[in-house]
């Protein structure tokens, strides 16, 4: 009778690889839980210290799901999302050229937490055509080391994968940087020529449910804001 099972080397390789990925996943999930805890604590602290003086300025945390959390402050929303899969980087990515990864290629396998910025009114008024922006991606590996690809205040702070270890203090810095970037990323009016012609259908839809597309930078593309990703 022919043996239809894979050979032992293949099975052993599968077991090792997926066990390894589970370690990366656990590190990322643990990190995301700390993110949620810190976001909640920040919202609680703001409410205790500043609510009486600024009752109309929201600073609210919402735990959406296992993989999503929301922080609303002022007219902005930050959405933190953990991806359920584990990623490796292309050979051309800068992180693959570091001595830290060349020494052990398995260190390049990472879980990912994304940070998006939206306008609060986009959700309040169900403006489904509005745009949000990815302002940072946090990558965590099997050794609980991390690096960030991001914009300005976020990406420039964290560029040493070898020595950056994820802990509550580093998460506080990441959240602080994301909020600072968002506060400084102001809503700009779109160019006049982009909106001087409106169809009847667009106007009727806008009157009906405020659906004219709004974003901090209308026509914005991530790589075109004079700030590139940093790793």
Rounded to whole angstroms, the Cα distance separating 134 from 223 reads 11
Which pLDDT value is given to residue 15?
80
At residue 152, the pLDDT reads 63
Between 197 and 227, where is the model more confident?
197
Structure confidence by residue, pLDDT tens digits, 54-96: 777 789 999 999 999 999 998 999 999 999 999 999 999 888 9
Q: Select from 165, 121, 125 the least CA-distant residue to 145.
A: 165
CA distance 149 to 178: 12
pLDDT at 226: 39
What are the structure tokens assigned to 217, written together?
A: 């930078």
Domain boundaries, the chain: 9-224
Candidate from 19-33, 96-110, 170-184, 211-225 with smallest mean pLDDT: 211-225
pTM over 0.95: no
- Residue 196 CA to residue 149 CA, distance in Å, equals 36
């Amino acid at each position: 009778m022919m043996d239809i099972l894979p050979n032992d080397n293949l099975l052993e390789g599968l077991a090792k690889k997926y066990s390894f990925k589970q370690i990366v996943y656990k590190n990322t999930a643990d990190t995301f839980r700390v993110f949620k805890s810190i976001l909640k604590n920040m919202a609680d602290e703001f409410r205790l210290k500043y609510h009486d003086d600024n009752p109309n300025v929201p600073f609210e945390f919402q735990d959406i799901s296992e993989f999503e959390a929301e922080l609303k402050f002022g007219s902005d929303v930050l959405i933190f999302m953990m991806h359920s899969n584990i990623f490796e980087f292309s050979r051309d990515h800068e992180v693959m050229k570091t001595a830290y990864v060349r020494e052990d290629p398995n260190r390049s396998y990472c879980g990912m937490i994304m940070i998006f910025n939206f306008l609060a009114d986009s959700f309040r008024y169900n403006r489904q055509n509005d745009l949000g922006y990815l302002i940072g991606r946090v990558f965590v590996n099997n050794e609980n080391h991390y690096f960030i690809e991001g914009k300005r205040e976020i990406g420039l702070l964290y560029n040493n994968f070898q020595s950056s270890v994820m802990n509550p203090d580093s998460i506080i810095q990441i959240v602080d940087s994301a909020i600072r970037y968002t506060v400084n990323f102001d809503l700009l009016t779109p160019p006049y020529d982009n909106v001087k012609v409106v169809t009847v259908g667009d106007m009727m839809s806008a009157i009906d449910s405020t659906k004219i597309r709004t974003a901090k930078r209308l026509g914005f593309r991530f790589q075109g804001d004079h700030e590139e990703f940093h790793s």
